[in-house]
Amino acid sequence: MSDKQVVDFVELRAQKIDEKRRKAERILFQQLLNVYCVTENYGLRPIDLVEVSEEGCSFQVPFDQNHLWPKDIKERFVFRLYFSQDTYLPVHVNIANSRPYIDNNGRFTRYGCSVDKTTTTYPTYQQFVKFLKLYSEHAHKDQGNKTVFYI
């Protein structure tokens, strides 16, 4: 960094908070929340939720060139967000885009979706997204210490 560069601490802090939020979301999506998509031909299909916002979400499915799914990029689906083995929140989504994605776990297709705000379950979904944001800002990693955090 040169002497003439100015560091924007507000922007840097916002980036750190966003990174922490994404990490917290990934942990919750992978360990606590089961997400399925209701389809006509496949029944309930498990999907990996990648990110959520009040406007939309993204998910990924393993790439299989013999069984491309979903085939129509403009399809409308109902996601089931399972918070327990037998209770779920239905979320209606419209697929807006797709792209290939490769990571250490394999080859996937990622989809970006908009969430239907006209459904009766949207306010609950919206509160869930707000909870995730606040949780990621205030959650602490368990270091095994016995310290109590006060406001």
The tens digit of pLDDT for each residue in 5-63 reads 777 888 877 787 777 777 777 777 777 788 999 877 778 889 999 989 999 999 999 98
Cα(110)–Cα(133) distance, rounded to whole angstroms?
A: 22
Question: Is there a contact between 62 and 74 (Cβ–Cβ < 8 Å)?
Answer: no
Least confident residue range of 82-86, 95-99, 137-141: 137-141
Evaluate whether residue 145 is within a structural domain. Answer: no
Would residue 144 count as lying in a domain?
A: no
Task: Look at residue 7 in the predicted model and tell me its pLDDT.
Answer: 76
Give the Cα separation of 45 and 62 in Å (integer). 11
pLDDT value for 149: 64
The mean of the pLDDT values for the chain is 84
Q: How far is CA 37 from CA 28, 78, 94, 107, 117, in A?
A: 18, 6, 12, 19, 18
Domain CATH number, residue 94: 2.40.10.220
Question: Does any domain span residue 9?
Answer: no
Range of the domain at 86: 34-132
Residue 63 lies in a domain: yes
For residue 126, pLDDT over 60 is answered with yes
Instruction: Give the count of domains, the chain.
Output: 1
Domain membership of residue 100 (yes or no) is yes
Rounded distance between C-alpha atoms, residue 101 and residue 106, angstroms: 9
Q: Answer with the residue of higher pLDDT: 93 or 19.
A: 93
pTM for the predicted model, two decimal places = 0.77
